[in-house]
Chains A and B, each alone.
Chain A
């Protein structure tokens, strides 16, 4: 039997070969052939993830200088730096994917500013107290860890490797968040109230963090493609159930109340019941119409424009240097 070189296969044959690799659990690499649908799904997923890390630095960054002690200042600085680092790692993965399409990081930023590229719903929300910094690090990071761990086995090799490093660092974030939360929960009445108010503020956002259940709620979902290509292994609802199982008992143990009277574990179905969040509101927030969307986008856009001269200067410097060498 003579093997036909890969580039002489028909499009269908290439696709079948690709899907065989996916089925076998092989990892796809940046330079491998991949169907457009797969590339598109990756770009969408990873650029949203990457830009969410970067936009996610903004609400917490507000609390970096205000963190109460030197120790907490150092810890939250390190955490926010990690998040920027995650963003950097992920954008590099996206850069390789968009390069064949003739696009660069500047295009990603442009898409962010025009709201074509969306970022996570939680990062559109206000964080008005130190209690919010605690809840973000404990529960938002806790939720992120669940969905990132679920994707560790993703079929795209570079993403999987980035996630591995991210998950290692995230485990420190969770500890940091737990420590902040515990300190407030065992503190003065004022500290406890600060924490309780923050939890009330964040509950709905946490519930919607994993996205809607199925097509019915918002009209479309990208989960199916994700599962087909083995980018992910669990549905949104499975992740939400995991989150509730992991955190509701912990929250209750701290003596905090959760603002949902319907919330309970149903022994018959072995599932959590909760009040269905407002998915239309969720959709609006992610589309860039949340309480802090415009303000945070403006912050990022202004800083980007203010430092355009720096990036120009660096480019010029590099060109000069390579001219000297050449």
Chain B
């Protein structure tokens, strides 16, 4: 593979894996959301996001990286390029046993991610890689509704009861410590930008901070530090046990019968 293609694949893995793993975390909420209407809406978002992951994996497949199901189900954790924050569990417990999930954490994580995803998409409209540009245009049609959904949740829970505010602030503080890992373009970041696939990390960060802090301001909240990357950089293949476990669940059936050619 040419150096140029390798760099392109790095970016595609980041985009695909982010959507794939967060859609998975979202799908664990199925049947457990705070009310039935949200269950239906959230599930629709998860399907869209999984669909976005499929689109990015397809671009990888076209570049000869392997077929989409193998890419999503058979890679080792260290070859995943998603941000660590997005792979973290929804809370305590397992999705099948005593899930003690934290809705505030889910709202904050999805909200913060949806703002960054929007900024990335806007930048991808100008990507030098034509298929990526086209994918971004398709994705943004659906993403528009996701952004609105999470922003609504975010502002409502931030400006309601004391308890909700307290839970939301805790969640923001937690996500804040890791969010630079989501903004990061990883060790090939400079080359990715040199090829004009997406804008520089610095620009992504500034724009994200600007938009997020505007909303924070309306909620009378201001973060005390700049976003961190405490658990490591997923873009460079650093991950937690949470990802290993997630991938085991995701590939349990697919990997359970190596002879199977069709499911």
Chain B residues within an 8 Å CB radius of A299: 31-32, 99
- Please tell me if the beta carbons of B30 and A74 are within 8 angstroms of each other in the complex: no
Checking B34, B47, B72, B73 against A78 with a beta-carbon cut-off of 8 angstroms, the contacting residue is B47
Q: What residue in chain B is nearest A310 (Cβ atoms)?
A: B34
The answer for the CA separation of A58 and B254 in the assembled complex, in Å, is 21
Give the distance to chain A from B211, nearest Cβ to Cβ, in Å. 22
Chain A residues within an 8 Å CB radius of B103: 306-307, 310
- Please tell me if the beta carbons of A64 and B30 are within 8 angstroms of each other in the complex: yes
- Please tell me if the beta carbons of B40 and A67 are within 8 angstroms of each other in the complex: no
Chain A residues within an 8 Å CB radius of B50: 70, 73-74, 77
Give the distance to chain A from B3, nearest Cβ to Cβ, in Å. 29
The answer for the CA separation of A316 and B46 in the assembled complex, in Å, is 28
The answer for the CA separation of A109 and B92 in the assembled complex, in Å, is 24
A190 at the interface (CB under 8 A from B): yes
Chain A residues within an 8 Å CB radius of B101: 303, 306
Q: What bracket does the count of chain A residues touching chain B fall in?
A: 35 or more
How many A-B residue pairs lie within 8 Å, measured between CB atoms? 146
Interface residues of A in 50-96 (CB under 8 A from B): 54, 57-58, 61-70, 72-74, 77-78, 80-81, 84-85, 87-88, 91
Known: A74-B50, A312-B161. A66 touches B250 (CB 8 A): yes
1/0 contact trace for B37-52 toward A, CB 8 Å?
1011001101100110
The answer for the CA separation of A188 and B260 in the assembled complex, in Å, is 6
The answer for the CA separation of A184 and B257 in the assembled complex, in Å, is 11
- Please tell me if the beta carbons of B249 and A316 are within 8 angstroms of each other in the complex: no
- Please tell me if the beta carbons of A311 and B35 are within 8 angstroms of each other in the complex: yes
B69 at the interface (CB under 8 A from A): yes
Known: A187-B260, A317-B160. A65 touches B43 (CB 8 A): no
The majority secondary structure among interface residues of chain B is helix
Give the distance to chain B from A66, nearest Cβ to Cβ, in Å. 5
The answer for the CA separation of A190 and B156 in the assembled complex, in Å, is 50
- Please tell me if the beta carbons of B32 and A190 are within 8 angstroms of each other in the complex: no
- Please tell me if the beta carbons of A309 and B164 are within 8 angstroms of each other in the complex: yes
Chain A residues within an 8 Å CB radius of B236: none
- Please tell me if the beta carbons of A65 and B28 are within 8 angstroms of each other in the complex: yes
Binding site for A on B (CB under 8 A): 24, 27-28, 30-37, 39-40, 43-44, 46-47, 50-51, 53-54, 57, 68-69, 72-73, 95-96, 98-101, 103, 156-157, 159-161, 163-164, 167, 249-250, 252-254, 256-257, 259-263
14 CB-based A-B contacts, threshold 8 Å: A62-B96, A65-B24, A65-B250, A80-B31, A81-B39, A85-B40, A188-B257, A306-B100, A306-B101, A307-B33, A307-B34, A310-B35, A317-B160, A320-B160
Binding site for B on A (CB under 8 A): 54, 57-58, 61-70, 72-74, 77-78, 80-81, 84-85, 87-88, 91, 130, 183-184, 186-188, 190-191, 299-300, 302-303, 306-307, 309-314, 316-317, 320
